[in-house]
Amino acid sequence: MSDISLGVLVSGRGSNLQAIIDAINDGNLNANIMLVISNQENAYALERARKAGIKTIFINPQDYPLQQDYEQQMVSQLEANNVELVILAGFMRILTPYFVNAYQNRILNIHPALLPSFPGLHAQKQALEYGVMVTGVTVHVVDEGMDTGPIIMQRAVDVLPDDTVDSLSERMLKIEHQIYPEAIAQIIGHMRPVGDL
């Protein structure tokens, strides 16, 4: 069975990207990362990718006043590198229907909340401000809405009485690093059933 080709979109520190790289290197995920694309030139995620010998591309949003032109550039890079499954790993840019249609049902995202609660930015802060006692992490398929696509995997995280955004985010991040590679492996299993060549 041949490995699935991944393209990972990032904007920042890239700890989820690192978890995926590690899972592949440890033999827990049958995939190859063909390409990492960032919308931030100085994203540490790019450094992590380079260290792992993965091709990186910075696509500057300022070069593309129209969002669809920006996304067309991403799609052509992903296609040129034979990417089959797109992984959003802290990619902080809303995708339009153009991009979602180009990779329909083949874009995954991780979100630091138990969706449909607390979509959008600052999910951990939203959870603390609301006063929930349990929050968590969601991996879902990306559709045209904001954090609304079909859920693939979720894991709960207790909110502790003294939690700050930082302490809660740190605990949640460890869970993110566990479930993102697991969820990707699950989707890959559906894309290439065992026995496929």
Phi-psi region of 120 (alpha: psi -120 to 50; beta: other; left: phi over 0): left
In the chain, beta strands by DSSP E: 4-10, 31-38, 56-58, 85-88, 107-111, 134-141, 151-158
| Tokens describing residue 47 | 């450094």
| Number of separate helices (H) and strands (E) present in the chain | 6, 7
Query: Looking at beta carbons only, is 117 or 192 nearer to ligand GAR?
Result: 117
The answer to whether the peptide bond before residue 161 is cis (omega within 30 degrees of 0) is no
Interacting residue with ligand GAR among 7, 16, 38, 159 (CB under 6 A): 16
Q: Does 136 help bind ligand GAR (rule: CB under 6 A)?
A: no
Q: Does 13 help bind ligand GAR (rule: CB under 6 A)?
A: yes
Beta bridge partners of 61: none
Q: Is 111 a catalytic residue?
A: yes
Site string for ligand GAR, 31-70 (x = CB under 6 A): --------------x-------------------------
Q: Does 14 help bind ligand GAR (rule: CB under 6 A)?
A: yes
Q: Does 181 help bind ligand GAR (rule: CB under 6 A)?
A: no
Output the smallest distance, CB 1 to ligand GAR, in A.
28
Output the smallest distance, CB 79 to ligand GAR, in A.
24
Q: Which residue has the tokens 């033999």?
A: 27
Q: Does 176 help bind ligand GAR (rule: CB under 6 A)?
A: yes
User: What pairing do the DSSP bridges indicate for beta strands 31-38 and 4-10?
Assistant: parallel
Indicate which residues carry an active-site annotation: 111
Binding site for ligand GAR (CB under 6 A): 12-16, 45, 89-90, 110-112, 123, 173, 176
